């Protein structure tokens, strides 16, 4: 199944946890009646937090909840680059590759992570622990090189810091 | 040290909480506006202040507000653009993280001025932790009667919601932002109609940058005229500058507009010079979309005048020898940096972020990226440099939104000032893979 063409897939909606459902209802209620579609990006973030990625079944469920057509969810999820439309590792390392970070050494950090994890950008490590992605500017230009993982920013990266970070993430994901 | 109007209390412990913020004079502008001023009087003060939009365009905020259509019985909205994503810019994140109540206070006072009763903060999705800080602060403001029904007994009601994007630079463009806020893809809208007439859900809407909205607080507290005494000419007040790149002390600084660029780069109160004892090679003073300046045009204009941190002085010389203040994303390059590589990097950024709606931008940004890749990686030709200029001219002015221009300008400026470095990449491709070109000569030395 290629998630880039979700409309070609007729997948059954999947269930969300009670916590996610409560959060979804809370953010829908932030908008005026009839404007529930405005909550869609926040909801897709909740879905990704629960499952790690956004599957077609999850998108179909979001469409049901918002009472909109599935295509309205697909076209949004495929436009915004934060949403992973394929399964990813437990920790997605999103390293900023844009100019200001490049000036202070992001290229080296990206190659170092590639070497350390023995993967290329876009790939997932064999143990399923890490996916490496490069992203465009995350608005931390004065504190580069930097990466984001699970909405947390890790800044002023060095090779030593990357090592510590990877170890800490392994520990946290195994416990 | 210069006067601080926004970040004065940024380092006070606990200032992100309502209680501490209030103890330090917070929410005074809400009290003043709601108890003793009419909405039009607030608009008038903002006009008098000369405040110009801090997101990058520099359009006078008071004038933007006065364009808001006010048909009877139609709801109006204020939307805060917190989709900070112009490379080199990270000031809004700093402000929201440190002083969430300053933004909320600005939202209340500004919404009152505009007659908006439902206002929104649209924040980039990557700043989810900042969204959570803001949500907590909004809850505190409700609990203390600063939001909700009948604020401070004035009869004015306001609901404020913060909501995230999903990682799309284009949503910093105000009509794309509104599309996104409606739960759609961030494709910019044709203008007219402008958001002031038909914005969020078709209602009249003002979209302002975080820093512009925060600046309304000191403007209302001290009066527009007092605010306008700070700065020079049509660059009034203070400005947050995000300094990045090869600096001793990068970071966010609040400056009085009119500070010299030299003082900002080398001064002890600011960036303290170029890191590792290197020399300055170039500077992009206003975010990645504005023209790059070679070292000899950074601290002085082409006429030899001192270059100042103002809208006018940074633009002095037009695109031939000047640039723009833009968003205040001040990116500094040392002598070891490769201009071709950086230009390719920014071109890749715009190609990645083009929404794809307009052919000149969708195709043009992609081609610029490919051609620059060739030049950077040693397979380019001299004709490629001219080809870039041709693509540029075909994008510029031919798209719905300014992303096309923003992609074209940096490439044009890099070739204008650093053509010899581009040509060197073509003539000495192998050498260009092993070392950087270094400083270019000034026209006088050449």
Q: What is the tens place of the pLDDT at every residue in B192-201?
A: 999 999 999 9
Please measure the distance between the N-terminal and C-terminal CA atoms of chain B and give it in whole angstroms: 39
Asked if A139 lies within 8 A of B84 by C-beta distance, the reply is yes
Q: Is residue B8 part of a domain?
A: no
**Segment (H or E) for B216:** helix B210-222
Do residue B241 and residue B302 come from a single domain? yes
Round to whole Å and give the CA distance between B199 and B120.
Answer: 12
Note the Cα B19 to chain centre separation in Å.
30
Do residue B212 and residue B237 come from a single domain? no
Q: Which among B166, B201, B353 has CB closest to A83?
A: B166
Q: What is the tens place of the pLDDT at every residue in B55-105?
A: 998 999 999 999 999 999 999 999 999 999 999 999 999 999 999 999 999
Q: What is the tens place of the pLDDT at every residue in B211-228?
A: 999 999 999 999 999 999
Predicted pLDDT of residue B433: 85
Which B positions 328-347 lie with beta carbon below 8 A of chain A? 329, 331-333, 337, 341-342, 345-346
Question: Does the structure show a pLDDT above 80 at B385?
Answer: yes
Round to whole Å and give the CA distance between B44 and B63.
Answer: 10
Q: Which residues contact B302 (CB under 8 A, 6 or more apart)?
A: B316, B317, B320, B321, B322
> HSE (CB half, 13 Å, CA atoms) of B280?
24
Domain containing residue B213: CATH number: 3.40.50.11540
Q: Is residue B4 part of a domain?
A: no
Confidence at B1, pLDDT banded by 50, 70, 90: very low
Q: What is the tens place of the pLDDT at every residue in B15-41?
A: 999 999 999 999 999 999 999 999 999
Q: Is A98 on the interface with B (CB under 8 A)?
A: yes
Q: Which among A97, A103, A148 has CB closest to B245?
A: A103
Do residue B166 and residue B34 come from a single domain? yes
SS3 content of chain B, % helix, strand, coil (to 5): 45, 15, 40
Domain containing residue B323: CATH number: 3.10.20.600
Percent of chain B with pLDDT over 90: 95
Distance from CA of A89 to the nearest CA of B (A): 19
Confidence at B438, pLDDT banded by 50, 70, 90: confident
Q: Is A34 on the interface with B (CB under 8 A)?
A: no
Predicted pLDDT of residue A58: 97
Predicted pLDDT of residue A2: 44
Question: Does the structure show a pLDDT above 80 at B143?
Answer: yes
Query: Of B312, B334, B356, which residue sits at a domain end?
Result: B334
Question: Does the structure show a pLDDT above 90 at B442?
Answer: no
Q: Is residue B69 part of a domain?
A: yes
Parallel/antiparallel/unpaired status of strands A130-135 and B293-294: unpaired
Asked if A45 lies within 8 A of B164 by C-beta distance, the reply is yes
CB pairs under 8 A between A and B: 146
Q: Is residue B7 part of a domain?
A: no
Q: What is the DSSP string of B180-200?
A: HHTTS--PPPPSSSPTTTS-G
Total domain count for chain B? 3
Asked if B166 lies within 8 A of A102 by C-beta distance, the reply is no
Q: Is B249 on the interface with A (CB under 8 A)?
A: no
Q: Is residue B113 part of a domain?
A: yes
Asked if B165 lies within 8 A of A44 by C-beta distance, the reply is no
Do residue B70 and residue B119 come from a single domain? yes
Q: Is A53 on the interface with B (CB under 8 A)?
A: no
Q: Is B111 on the interface with A (CB under 8 A)?
A: no
Q: Is residue B327 part of a domain?
A: yes
The overall average pLDDT reported for chain B is 96
Q: Is B86 on the interface with A (CB under 8 A)?
A: yes
Do residue B57 and residue B89 come from a single domain? yes
Query: Of B209, B229, B249, which residue sits at a domain end?
Result: B229
Asked if B169 lies within 8 A of A136 by C-beta distance, the reply is yes
Predicted pLDDT of residue A1: 40
Q: Is A141 on the interface with B (CB under 8 A)?
A: yes
Round to whole Å and give the CA distance between A13 and A25.
Answer: 18
Predicted pLDDT of residue B2: 64
Q: Which among B92, B168, B244 has CB closest to A81?
A: B168
Parallel/antiparallel/unpaired status of strands B329-334 and B280-284: antiparallel
Which B positions 217-246 lie with beta carbon below 8 A of chain A? 242-246
Asked if B242 lies within 8 A of A141 by C-beta distance, the reply is yes
Do residue B38 and residue B172 come from a single domain? yes
Distance from CA of B130 to the nearest CA of A (A): 10
Q: Is residue B90 part of a domain?
A: yes
The stretch B163-186 carries a mean pLDDT of 97
Query: Of B212, B229, B246, which residue sits at a domain end?
Result: B229
Q: Is the peptide bond before B193 cis (omega within 30 degrees of 0)?
A: yes
CATH number of A91-174: 3.40.30.10
Q: Is B163 on the interface with A (CB under 8 A)?
A: yes
Q: Which among A66, A104, A141 has CB closest to B90?
A: A141
Confidence at B11, pLDDT banded by 50, 70, 90: very high
Round to whole Å and give the CA distance between B361 and B247.
Answer: 33
Q: Is A143 on the interface with B (CB under 8 A)?
A: yes
Q: Which among B85, B250, B341 has CB closest to A137?
A: B85
Chain B positions touching A135 (Cβ under 8 A) are 167
The range of the structural domain enclosing residue B76 comes to 18-229
Q: Which residues contact A24 (CB under 8 A, 6 or more apart)?
A: A16, A39, A43, A46, A65
Complex confidence, ipTM: 0.95
Percent of chain B with pLDDT over 70: 99
Round to whole Å and give the CA distance between A149 and A82.
Answer: 11
Do residue B327 and residue B369 come from a single domain? no
CA nearest A139: which of B57, B129, B160, B356? B129
Asked if A102 lies within 8 A of B180 by C-beta distance, the reply is no
Asked if A39 lies within 8 A of B163 by C-beta distance, the reply is yes
**Segment (H or E) for A165:** helix A159-174
Stretches in chain A below the pLDDT threshold 50: 1-3, 6
Q: Do domains A6-79 and A91-174 have the same CATH topology?
A: no
Q: Which residues contact B133 (CB under 8 A, 6 or more apart)?
A: B16, B96, B97, B100
CATH 1.10.3470 is right for the domain spanning A6-79: no
Q: Is A107 on the interface with B (CB under 8 A)?
A: no
Do residue B77 and residue B171 come from a single domain? yes
Do residue B223 and residue B244 come from a single domain? no
Residue B305 contacts residue B316 (beta carbons within 8 Å): yes
Q: Which among A42, A102, A148 has CB closest to B345?
A: A102
Which A positions 147-166 lie with beta carbon below 8 A of chain B? 148, 151-153
The stretch B348-355 carries a mean pLDDT of 97
The residue ranges of every structural domain in chain A are: 6-79, 91-174
Q: Which among B84, B126, B161 has CB closest to A30?
A: B161
Chain B positions touching A98 (Cβ under 8 A) are 87, 288, 345-346, 349
Question: Does the structure show a pLDDT above 80 at B181?
Answer: yes
Do residue B325 and residue B415 come from a single domain? no
Note the Cα B143 to chain centre separation in Å.
32
Asked if B93 lies within 8 A of A27 by C-beta distance, the reply is no
């Amino acid at each position: 199944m290629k998630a880039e063409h979700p409309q070609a897939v007729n997948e059954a909606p999947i269930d969300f946890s009670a916590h996610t459902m409560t959060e979804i209802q809370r953010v829908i209620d932030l908008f005026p009646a009839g404007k529930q579609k405005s909550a869609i990006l926040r909801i897709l973030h909740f879905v990704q937090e629960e499952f790690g990625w956004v599957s077609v079944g999850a998108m179909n469920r979001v469409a049901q909840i918002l009472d909109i057509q599935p295509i309205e969810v697909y076209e949004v999820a495929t436009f915004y680059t934060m949403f992973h439309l394929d399964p990813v590792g437990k920790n997605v390392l999103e390293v900023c590759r844009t100019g200001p970070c490049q000036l202070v050494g992001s290229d080296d950090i990206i190659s170092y992570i590639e070497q350390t994890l023995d993967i290329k950008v876009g790939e997932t490590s064999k143990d399923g622990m890490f996916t490496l992605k490069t992203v465009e500017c995350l608005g931390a230009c004065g504190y580069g090189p930097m990466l984001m993982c699970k909405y947390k920013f890790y800044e002023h990266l060095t090779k030593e810091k990357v090592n510590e970070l990877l170890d800490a993430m392994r520990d946290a994901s195994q416990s | 040290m210069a006067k601080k109007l926004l970040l004065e209390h940024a380092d006070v412990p606990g200032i992100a909480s309502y209680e501490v913020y209030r103890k330090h004079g917070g929410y005074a502008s809400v009290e003043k506006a709601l108890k003793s001023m009419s909405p039009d009087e607030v608009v008038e003060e903002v006009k008098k202040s000369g405040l110009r939009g801090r997101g990058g365009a520099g359009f006078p905020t008071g004038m933007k507000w006065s364009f808001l259509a006010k048909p009877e019985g139609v709801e109006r909205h204020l939307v805060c653009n917190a989709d900070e994503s112009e490379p080199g810019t990270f000031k809004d994140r700093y402000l929201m993280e440190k002083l969430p109540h300053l933004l909320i206070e600005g939202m209340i006072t500004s919404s009152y001025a505009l007659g908006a009763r439902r206002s929104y903060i649209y924040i980039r999705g990557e700043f989810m932790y900042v969204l959570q800080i803001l949500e907590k602060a909004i809850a505190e403001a409700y609990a203390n009667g600063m939001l909700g029904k009948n604020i401070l007994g004035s009869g004015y009601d306001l609901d404020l919601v913060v909501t995230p994007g999903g990682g799309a630079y284009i949503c910093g463009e105000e009509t794309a932002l509104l599309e996104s806020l409606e739960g759609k893809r961030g494709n910019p809208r044709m203008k007219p109609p402008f958001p002031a007439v038909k914005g969020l859900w078709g209602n009249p809407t003002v979209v302002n940058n975080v820093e512009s909205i925060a600046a309304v607080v000191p403007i209302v507290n001290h009066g527009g005229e007092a605010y306008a005494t700070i700065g020079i000419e049509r660059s009034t007040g203070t400005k947050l500058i995000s300094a990045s790149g090869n600096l001793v002390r990068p970071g966010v600084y609040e400056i009085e507009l009119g500070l010299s660029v030299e003082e900002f780069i080398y001064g002890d109160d600011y960036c303290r010079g170029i890191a590792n004892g290197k020399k300055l090679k170039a500077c992009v003073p206003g975010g990645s979309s504005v023209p790059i300046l070679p070292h000899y045009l950074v601290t002085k204009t082409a006429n030899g005048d001192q270059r100042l941190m103002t809208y006018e002085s940074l633009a002095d010389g037009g695109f031939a020898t000047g640039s723009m203040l833009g968003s205040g994303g001040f990116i500094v390059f040392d002598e070891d940096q490769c201009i071709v590589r950086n230009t390719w990097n920014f071109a890749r950024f715009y190609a990645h972020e083009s929404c794809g709606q307009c052919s000149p931008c969708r195709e043009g940004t992609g081609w610029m990226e490919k051609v620059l890749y060739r030049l950077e990686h040693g397979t380019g030709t001299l004709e490629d440099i001219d080809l870039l200029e041709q693509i540029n001219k075909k994008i510029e002015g031919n798209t719905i939104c300014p992303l096309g221009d923003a992609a074209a300008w940096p490439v044009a400026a890099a070739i204008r000032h650093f053509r010899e470095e581009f040509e060197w990449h073509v003539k000495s491709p192998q050498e260009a893979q092993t070392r950087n070109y270094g400083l270019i000569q000034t026209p006088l030395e050449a």
